[in-house]
Amino acid sequence: MMKFVFDKRVVSVLISLVMMLSLVSCDVPEGIGSEESASLGEESLGTSESMSDTSETEDLSTQDTQISDGTGSDVSEHENDTTVKDEDSTTDETDPLEETTEEKIVLDEEMVLTYENLHELSSGKNIVIFLVDRFDAKYYRKMEKKHPDFFEGLDGFTYYNDYTSLHCRTYPGVASILTNLEHDYTSKKANAFDYFYSNGGTMRTLHDHGYTLNVYTETSYVYNDATLMSEYVSNTGYVSLSEEFLVGADATVDLLERIKSRDFYTVDSKGQFTFIHLYGCHNTDKNSYENIEDTFEIIYYYIEQMKTLGVYDDATIVITGDHAAALSDSKYIGKANGSDDGTRVTAMLFKRSGDSGSSLRRSEAQVSQDELWATIFESEGMLSEKKGDSFFDIPEGEDRERRYLFYMYKNAKNNNLKYSQVIEYKITGTANDPANWQMITTPVTTE
């Protein structure tokens, strides 16, 4: 019996030695253990989603517990607008030939949108969209009243005072704007993002017409995995290649410092599409109006660089919001109440290619997100891709019908809904009059 026990222990020791020798012989990078390498890909995703409820990726129904406080802080969408950034993040310069299999697995775990090409413009045509999050028309009007000259630097632009976005929140609003595709709120985000970016919509159209595409936006609310865009978006990369662009409480300051860190330059190409998602009008330690000042410091600097390089005149430039300000998630649109005027109108500033050397104009034409890409394509001379009317086809004074999708959370204060649901509105005439907002979806209430 004692001999059997001794032999078994010897075998056990031999097995342990073999396993240890096997591990030592593996070419594992110094300082990366199995636990660290397994969590490396998750670290970037975790930082980007710290601004949101991570349960959102499972199903939008989990957002039901995120209720607005009715103060305009929009807590249901950006409950925690704080992002952790690694200031020491650097580009991985490891020779690809020296990368081990384990490294490649880590790199392949998560592809993201990076800062690559941020200073790049085309020597040919340029389309630039500045997406100012939550840019409500009321913020624009208040800034205009407070600082009459604030927007005067927008050479060749037209301000559309009666523009409506389609969605009420960043998800799926930004993806819808990028692709000109529509998807409802009730699907899982992964399925919705697969639909948006596998199709590509207008982004794929631009790529097929020879445009280079660079998109700077956040994960979680706009995309989960940049692999879906990598076929037609240039600034995609694996986690370790470049620090991803995060829209958060510090993103505006970070981006201003970043774009001032080096000179802009042009590349010889047919055209370029640049989409920059700015934190905009969400409340942080400043109010929404002060955030506009910070945001436009970036926009004005970018425009100055375009003029210096001689590409401004021919550029198509859009400055708009993904949605208006939902001052309360528990009150229906069309009913003024205190600071809520009962409307949801988004600010829209548009510069057509060839327009410059003129002061800011104002239009009361009743336009919407439905016409945005037709307007861009017309501006770029891509008339074969123009579907429907553009902003330029719609005369001022013409009453039109538009629609708006409002996602109402169940159990939000005083609404007593049985289910969270999408409520569709029809807007007949000017969207600035709450009486013109008609609910055409009857909410399902608790019996």
Q: What percent of the chain has pLDDT over 90?
A: 51
Q: Per-residue pLDDT averaged across 253-263, rounded?
A: 86
Contact 142, 190 (CB under 8 A): no
Q: How far is CA 150 from the centre of its chain?
A: 25
Residue type at 128 in one-letter notation = V
- The alpha-helical segments, DSSP class H, found in 53-201 are 101-108, 137-146, 170-179, 189-199
Q: Which residue has the higher pLDDT, 17 or 212?
A: 212
Q: Per-residue pLDDT averaged across 319-341, rounded?
A: 80
Nearest partner of 66 among 412, 406, 407, judged by Cα: 412
How much is the pLDDT for 105?
Answer: 40
The enclosing H or E element of 368 equals: strand 367-368
Q: Which residue has the higher pLDDT, 157 or 291?
A: 157
Nearest partner of 182 among 370, 414, 318, 367, judged by Cα: 370
Contact 408, 421 (CB under 8 A): yes
Provide DSSP, 50-74.
TTS-GGGGT-GGGGGG----SSS--
The reply to whether the predicted model has a pTM over 0.85 is no
How much is the pLDDT for 331?
Answer: 72
Tokens of 46: 């975790």
DSSP label of 167: B
Q: Which span out of 3-7, 92-96, 147-151, 404-408 was modeled with the highest average pLDDT? A: 147-151
How much is the pLDDT for 289?
Answer: 64
Q: Per-residue pLDDT averaged across 412-426, rounded?
A: 78
How much is the pLDDT for 152?
Answer: 92
How much is the pLDDT for 50?
Answer: 34
How much is the pLDDT for 445?
Answer: 67
How much is the pLDDT for 336?
Answer: 76
Q: Which residue has the higher pLDDT, 422 or 383?
A: 383
Q: Per-residue pLDDT averaged across 270-292, rounded?
A: 79
How much is the pLDDT for 410?
Answer: 75
Tokens of 201: 């919509």
pLDDT tens for 351-361 read 999 999 999 99
pLDDT tens for 132-161 read 999 999 999 989 999 999 999 999 999 999
Contact 433, 164 (CB under 8 A): no
Strand partners, 332: none
Angle at 187 between CA 181 and CA 191, to 5 degrees: 70
Q: Per-residue pLDDT averaged across 338-347, rounded?
A: 87
pLDDT tens for 67-125 read 333 333 333 454 333 333 333 333 333 333 333 334 434 444 678 888 899 999 999 99
A 10 A CB-CB count for 112 gives: 24
How much is the pLDDT for 16?
Answer: 54
pLDDT tens for 175-204 read 999 999 998 777 788 999 999 999 999 999
How much is the pLDDT for 201?
Answer: 97
The pLDDT mean for the chain works out to 77
Strand extents, DSSP E, 111-166: 111-113, 120-122, 125-132, 157-164
Kindly report which listed range (66-75, 238-247, 328-337, 364-373) carries the lowest average pLDDT score: 66-75
Q: How far apart are CA 236 and CA 207, in angstroms?
A: 15
Q: How far apart are CA 297 and CA 96, in angstroms?
A: 39
Buried b (16+ CB within 10 A) or exposed e, 363-379: bebbbbbbbbbbbbbbb
How much is the pLDDT for 54?
Answer: 33
How much is the pLDDT for 161?
Answer: 97
Buried b (16+ CB within 10 A) or exposed e, 154-173: bbbbbbbbbbbbbbbbbbbb
Asked if residue 226 has pLDDT above 90, the reply is yes
Residue whose pair of structure tokens reads 């076929």 in the numeric block:
231
How much is the pLDDT for 390?
Answer: 98
How much is the pLDDT for 111?
Answer: 87
How much is the pLDDT for 26?
Answer: 44
